[in-house]
Structure 1
C-alpha cells in the first residue's frame, strides 16, 4: 500500500472505531419486549451464579436497614393451623423519630423533610433488574420431595425469613363442604396426591380443574429453553406453586403489565380464598372474572406479559370453554378460614369477643376509616383505590425499583388476613402492626397507641 492510499484507509478505520464507540455508549432505547440475547447457557449460569452473592447481599442490607426481621411471635395469637403470628411494628424509624410525631405532620412536611420511613417505600424484587418467579425454600423442598420437580433458581434465593411468611402448608376450606374442615389434611396438594385427597369430595369438573392447577406449565424462568433460570431443563410452574393449597406461600414475581423495568411492582401472591365473592382480580389489572384471571396468568403473567417469549418457551393456551371454566369452578370453592368470633354479618359477636377486640372494631368502623373500603361481611368493596402515597416522598430508585406513584390498587378482602403475611401488594408491610401504622399515616387518622393496638386485636379475629 502506497502513502496515497494508506492515510485515507487509516482515517476511515479511525472514523469507524469512533462511530462504533459512540454507538456503544448510547443508552439502550426503551422497548416493550424482552431483550433476549442468545448466549451459551453454561456461560450465563456461571456468570449469574458468580453475581448471586453480591445481589443477595445488597437485598439483605436493604431489608436489615428497613426492618426488624427477628422472630417475635405474639402470645396466644396464631394462624389457622397454629403458626404463631409475628407481633410488633417491624419498620424502623430514624433515630429521634416517633410514630406519633410523624402522624402529627402533614404529607407535605414529611416529603419536604424526607422523613417517610424506609420500610414504607415500595419493596423491590430481590433482583429487580432480572425479576421472575421466586419461591420460598419450604415450597421448593416439598415439591421436590413429592413430585421430583425442582423450583430452585441458580441465580437467586427468596429474601424474607420463614417466620414472617404464611403457614405451610396452608389448610383448605371448601364452601361446599364446611363440615370437613381442612380438606388438605395438613398436606401440600400437588400432582402426586390431589386425586387421593379430593376424589369423592369434588365433582368431575372440579377435580379436573384442580388437576390443571397442580400440573406444571412452562414459565419464563422455568422451561426447557436455554434462557431459563433453572439448572436443569424444567417442566415449568404450577398455579399452586405460588397459590399453595389455594392460598399463598408469599412467592414473589414482578407484574407483567408495566414497563419499563424500574416501574414494575414486586407482587405479593394473593390468596385465592374467597374469590367467589370478589369482582376484581389482580392487584391493579381489574380483571373482571376469575376465568379472565386464570387465562391471563397462563398466557401473559407466566411470561412477563410478552407473547413472543411465551411462544418460544412453550405457552400453555387453555381452552376457555372447558379447562378455564373447570379451573375457575374449583377456585370458587375455596373458602375463608373459620372466624369463630364473627357473626353472620361479619361483625364481632359481643358474647364471644374480648374488650380489646370490640374496641378495635369501633376504631375500624369509626376513627380508623378502614371500613370506607373494607366493608363487611368479607371486608372488601370490590373497587380500586389510589392511596396517593407519593404525597409523602420524593421519587428515588431503590435497588433497581423506582419508588414513585403506584396508582390504583384493588381492595383485597380482610377476611382471614392474619393468615396472609406480609401485606400490601408488594410485601412491604411485614406485620399487621406495620399495616396499621402505614394506614394511620396515609389516611391521616392520628390513632393513639391504644387504638392501634386494639385495631390489630380486631384484625386478628377476621
Structure 2
C-alpha cells in the first residue's frame, strides 16, 4: 500500500473510532432512569456480598457488649480486639517485629488496612437503617439508596439518637430527651433554650439540600426525586451515626478515603476542620462542605443538581454558632485539667492514665483537657504493608491526618478517619504497632480503661 494510502487509511480508522466512541458515550449518557435503576439493583447483591466477605475476613463482628461501660444514653460499648490476625501470628509476636519485617512477611493485619466504602467504585453518602427509618417516620423523606446499603452492624455504631449537651446550658444535661432532632421538631425542642440566631442555625442544619446521590435529577440514587441531605443526617443530633461517604478532595477514585463522620461535640475548642483539608474555621467547613463535599468536589454536578450557596454573613454564621454550642458529654471522673480525680478513678484507669502520658506517648498529640493538639500528623502506616487494592480501594500512604479530640471517645465508634477500627481495644493494638510501643497485655487493658473514662 502506498504511503499516502496508508496515511489516509489510518486517518479513516481514527475517525471511525472517534465516531463509534462518541456514539457509545452518547448512548451511555442517554441511559434512562428506569434502566439505570434496574442495572444498579441487579448489581447490588454482588457488591454487598463482596463487602460482607471482606468484613468477615478482617473482623470478628460478634455482638459482645461490655458489662461495665456504656455510652451517654446507655448503649453498651463493644468489648475486645476485633481485628483478625494472620494465621500463626499473635499480637506479641507482631509487636516484636520491625515495620520492615512485617511488610516483607506480609503479616500486617488486614483489618488495619484502609476500609473501603460499602461500594467504593460508586461511593457517595450512605446511611444506617435506623437513621433512614426515623427520618422517614418524622419527615417522610427517604434516605434509602436503591443501589447499596450500609455495611457495618448496628452494635458497632454510636447510640441512636445521641445525647445533646449544650455549652450554654450544662445544667440541662441531655436536651435531646431521646429524640432525633429534625425539621419537624427542632423548634419545639429548642425554642426556649436558644436565641433566635442559634435557632435559625439549627433550622439550616436540619434542612435538606440537594446532594450528589439525593437530588431531583435522573442521575441520583433515590427512587423518587429527592429534596436532598441535611447536615444532621450524618451528624445526627450534632454527634455522629457512622454514616459514610468518600472524600471529595482526592483523586483518582481508588485513593479516596472512606469517611468516618466525626462528632460535632466540642467544635468550639477545635482549630482544624476536615480530616486532611485543614480548614481553619467551622464556618469554612460549613460552607465548603455544602458546596464541594455534597457533590464530590465536582462543580458542574453541583450546578446541575441544584447546589444551594449559603450566605456567609448570616446563614453560615448562624449554623456555625449553633455547632459551637455542642458540648462534650460529662466525664465525672475528670478534674478541671482533664486528668483523673484519684478519689473517683479505678486502679486500672489510673494506670492507664500513666501509660497515656508516659510509655504510650498518646499525649504527644492528644493533650488535655480536650485531648487534641489541633495539629496534623502523618503516622506513615505504609511502612508496614505493600500497596494493594481491595474492593476498589488502594491501600497506600494516607498522609497527614488531624488530631481528633478524645473527650467522649467511647461514644464515637468505629475509629480512625476511615472506620477501620471497630473498638477502642483495636485502636490501642493499632497504635501499639504503629508507634512501636511494645505495651504489655495489661498495659493495653489499662489504656482502654482510661480512654473509656474520658
TM-score normalised per structure 2? 0.95
CA contact (8 A) 1:382 1:411 kept: yes
Q: How does 1:1-150 map to 2 (within 5 A)?
A: 16=13, 20=17, 37-150=29-142
- Out of 299, 304, 310, the position equivalent to 2:291 is 299
Match of 2:207 in 1: 215
d(CA) in 2 for partners of 1:22, 1:96 = 57
Match of 1:387 in 2: 379
Alignment partner of 1:284: what SS?
coil
CA apart distance, 1:18 = 11
- Out of 145, 150, 157, the position equivalent to 2:149 is 157
Match of 2:391 in 1: 399
1:347 aligns with 2:339: yes
CA contact (8 A) 1:217 1:238 kept: yes
d(CA) in 1 for partners of 2:259, 2:204 = 23
1:194 aligns with 2:186: yes
Q: 1:60 to 1:22 in 2, by over 3 A?
A: farther
Match of 1:443 in 2: 435
What is the total number of aligned residue pairs between the two structures? Answer: 443
The superposition leaves residues 57-94 of structure 1 with CA deviations (integer Å, 9 ceiling, x where unpaired) of 00000000000000000111100000000010000001
CA contact (8 A) 1:348 1:358 kept: yes
1:456 aligns with 2:448: yes
Q: How does 1:428-439 map to 2 (within 5 A)?
A: 428-439=420-431
Alignment partner of 2:29: what SS?
coil
CA apart distance, 1:19 = 6.3
d(CA) in 1 for partners of 2:327, 2:68 = 24
Match of 2:252 in 1: 260
Match of 1:31 in 2: none
CA contact (8 A) 1:38 1:227 kept: no
d(CA) in 1 for partners of 2:296, 2:360 = 37
d(CA) in 1 for partners of 2:161, 2:443 = 33
d(CA) in 2 for partners of 1:263, 1:381 = 27
d(CA) in 1 for partners of 2:260, 2:444 = 24
CA contact (8 A) 1:153 1:229 kept: yes
d(CA) in 2 for partners of 1:392, 1:425 = 18
d(CA) in 2 for partners of 1:22, 1:433 = 58
The superposition leaves residues 77-125 of structure 1 with CA deviations (integer Å, 9 ceiling, x where unpaired) of 1000000000100000012100010001110010011110000000000
d(CA) in 2 for partners of 1:236, 1:171 = 25
- Out of 406, 409, 413, the position equivalent to 1:421 is 413
d(CA) in 2 for partners of 1:294, 1:37 = 32
d(CA) in 2 for partners of 1:375, 1:316 = 38
1:336 aligns with 2:328: yes
CA apart distance, 1:20 = 2.9
Which 5+ residue runs of structure 2 have no aligned equivalent? none
Q: How does 1:164-179 map to 2 (within 5 A)?
A: 164-179=156-171
- Out of 219, 231, 235, the position equivalent to 1:227 is 219
The superposition leaves residues 355-406 of structure 1 with CA deviations (integer Å, 9 ceiling, x where unpaired) of 0000000010000000000000000000000000000001000100010000
Moved over 6 A (4+): 11-15, 21-24
Alignment partner of 2:92: what SS?
helix
Alignment partner of 2:259: what SS?
strand
The superposition leaves residues 261-284 of structure 1 with CA deviations (integer Å, 9 ceiling, x where unpaired) of 011000000000000000000100
TM-score normalised per structure 1? 0.94
CA apart distance, 1:37 = 3.1
